[in-house]
Amino acid sequence: MQLYNNKSLDEVTGQLRAWEEGALRKSLERYPERYPEFTTLSGMPIARLYTHGDVATTDYARDLGLPGEYPYTRGVHATGPRGRLWTMRMFAGFGDAEETNQRFRYLLQQGQTGLSIAFDMPTLYGYDTDAPEAEGEFGLCGVACSSLADMEVLLDELPLESITTSMTINSPAAMVWAMYIAAAEKRGVSRAKLGGTLQNDILKEYIAQKEFIFPPRPSMRLVTDTVEFAARQMPLWNPISVSGYHIREAGSTAVQELAFTLADGFEYVRWAIARGLDVDDFAPRISFFFNAHNDFFEEIAKYRAARRIWAREMKETFGAKTPRSWMLRFHTQTAGVSLTAQQPLNNVARVALQALAAVLGGTQSLHTNSLDEALALPSEEAVTVALRTQQIIAHESGVTNTVDPLGGSFFVEALTDEVERQAYAYFRQIEEHGGVLPALEEGFFQREITEAAVRFQREVESGRRVIVGVTDFANDAPQQSVPLLRIDEAGYHRQLERLRSVRRTRDNRAVSQRLLDLAHAARREDANLMAPLLAAVNEYATLQEMMDVLREAWGVYEEPVIL
């Protein structure tokens, strides 16, 4: 093609690049005081202006491409949100099963398009509601689920056959998943037709969230059991959601979140292959869960780099042949740690910007935090505003009219390249420690996150980082008052009575036999535990009874002191 007085497009582009770079140099020489050093939240330096020269080393044919094409830098679907909006999946759970069921029904009526279940702390640690260890923790950060009876109430009249469900649970994930499967099947919904996601990411528990129970290696065996079971019997279910969200909430940088999350994902792939599974039989059902933090462009670059790295490694390192195995699909949640109790109405703006970054970054599913997040579990009013935020982005902002509108931006592409480069530097460090498990046992991840959190806090305290309404712009006006959720105290008594009724009315002889079968399977390396877990759940064995069997077989992990 000939353009502009018979000059080729390449010649014109080269002249434009030279002009831009020359103009930038002159501007910097003339006004040096106007360009102080800025950095992303990860500490990457940010230039005043980006030009062709900043992406000159990028192989666009290889690294950028088109949406829906390898390496998926610009998105895993050719049409992006223009063809299908992300799933609006509001995370919810509190009190007993009845209360949470009512919240789910309300959210579906308001336009939510996917379920996301939060469980309370006793459930997350594998205890029944009436256990001494559970005292005072019932329903405070999620719903209590001690047996199949609770799950049946929790899912009552929810459209399991037509909606996907995400469950945020890790050490007891296999048991709670078995309850979900059993509850659906009792309603006539085949397990093969169930769609959803089990978080089930035990590695990030040791790295960041600390809700581990068993030692790392038997825990990885249990996760691999669920991957194998899903590959064989539940083709629509994601058995793992590899989660960077909690790593970021613990204080990591965006680059650390990306690198540590993908490293965990690669480790799950290695374990499943070692089990004898073909990579293409399970990799398409591995999903991811990322944070959407405050640095708008850094977050977008993080998502783009994540897709590119995953695609390249799955294809070139693990030998996956199916394009679906190369596609990194992810859910996003806005950054809870960024929200403030002071001037809580400001959180609406924070969440909107974070959600927009997730959408422009190509998320497949999104939860928006509520403005009262730093004060209490979300009230009905607050969660509605959070859901409306997504709906306004989807239907009023115009950002869904085209796919990857930021693709080709000099700044975004240069930042994506730098995030990718730093992620690979972390992969090399992890390899030097002997891999993911040795690195977490030696405290590598924990030290890196701690040091990043300390750096950030020092920047806040020094005034380099501004927290609006807290470190700056904190006026003397009265504290903003927002209505807070109050948990129904009667729910605790309903939960205890249901648990007592289960133990009283079930076939306890059958329960004992099923728990014995589970114990025998746990001590056999070649046994998949999903079958004995489903058998125990269907006899109404409680969560703690099943977890105690595995505690006895595998022991309880105590994290070494990290120096």
Query: Using an 8 Å Cβ cutoff, are 344 and 304 in contact?
Result: no
pLDDT-derived band at 561, boundaries 50, 70, 90: confident
Whether residue 202 lies inside any domain: the answer is no
pLDDT tens for each residue of 58-103: 565 567 889 999 999 999 999 999 999 999 999 999 999 999 999 9
**Measuring CA to CA, how many Å separate 281 from each of 199, 231, 269?**
19, 6, 11
| Closest to 249 in 3D by CA, of 297, 189, 290 | 290
| pLDDT classification of 14: cutoffs 50, 70, 90 | low
In this structure, what token pair is assigned to residue 277?
A: 């599974």
Residues 6+ apart with CB under 8 A from 554: 214, 215, 218, 522
Beta bridge partners of 7: 3
Q: Which residues of 160-182 are buried (b: 16+ CB within 10 A; e: fewer)?
A: beebbbbbbbbbbbbbbbbbbbb
3 state SS of 143 = strand
For residues 231-249, average pLDDT: 98
Confidence class of residue 35 from pLDDT cuts 50, 70 and 90?
very low
Mean pLDDT, range 204-227, rounded to an integer: 97
Q: What is the pLDDT of residue 17?
A: 57
Q: What single DSSP character describes residue 119?
A: B
Which H or E element spans position 414?
Answer: helix 410-432
In a domain, 105, yes or no: no
d(CA 423, CA 412): 16
**What is the residue whose two structure tokens read 């394009």?**
323
Residue 420 lies in a domain: no
Concatenating the DSSP letter of every residue in 464-496 gives SS--BTTTBS--SSPPPP-------THHHHHHH
For residue 134, tell me if it sits in a domain: no
Q: What's the domain count of the chain?
A: 1
CA 170/CA 245 separation, integer angstroms: 14
Residue 14 lies in a domain: yes
Q: In the chain, pLDDT over 70 holds for what percent of residues?
A: 91
Least confident of 206-220, 223-237, 460-474: 460-474
Residue for token pair 């599974």: 277
Long-range contacts at 223-227 (CB < 8 A, ≥ 24 apart)? 223/173, 223/268, 223/271, 224/268, 224/271, 224/272, 224/275, 225/174, 225/528, 225/529, 225/530, 226/173, 226/174, 226/177, 226/198, 226/200, 226/530, 227/268, 227/271, 227/272, 227/275, 227/277, 227/282, 227/286
Range of the domain at 27: 2-61
User: Would residue 113 count as lying in a domain?
Assistant: no
Higher-pLDDT residue of 356 and 485 is: 356
Residue pair 299/293 in contact (Cβ under 8 Å)? The answer is yes
pLDDT of res. 443 = 95
Determine if the peptide bond prior to 71 is cis (ω within 30°). yes
pLDDT class of 405 with cuts at 50, 70, 90: very high
- Confidence (pLDDT) at 562: 75
Q: What is the pLDDT of residue 53?
A: 81
Give the separation between CA 354 and CA 327, rounded to whole angstroms.
Answer: 23
Report whether 540 contacts 149 (CB < 8 A).
yes
User: How confident is the model at residue 32, as a pLDDT?
Assistant: 47
**CB atoms near residue 466 (< 10 Å):** 12
Q: Do the Cβ atoms of 484 and 379 come closer than 8 Å?
A: yes
Would 19 be classed as within a structural domain? yes
Query: What does the pLDDT average to over 385-397?
Result: 98
The CA distance from 231 to 238, in Å, is: 9
Q: What's the pLDDT tens digit per position in 316-354?
A: 999 999 999 999 999 999 999 999 999 999 999 999 999
Average pLDDT over residues 126-139: 96
Q: How far is CA 73 from the centre of its chain?
A: 19
Segment 130-137 mean pLDDT: 96
Does the residue 338 lie in any domain?
A: no
Tokens of 105: 């029904």
**Euclidean distance between the first and the last CA atom of the chain, given in angstroms as a whole number:** 63
Residue 504's CB is within 10 A of a number of other CB atoms, namely 8
d(C-alpha 552, C-alpha 545), whole Å:
11
Note the pTM of the prediction, 2 decimals. 0.92
The mean pLDDT of the chain is: 92
Closest C-alpha among 147, 149, 123 to residue 137: 123
**Among the listed residues 151, 141, 231, 223, the one whose alpha carbon sits nearest the alpha carbon of residue 191:** 231
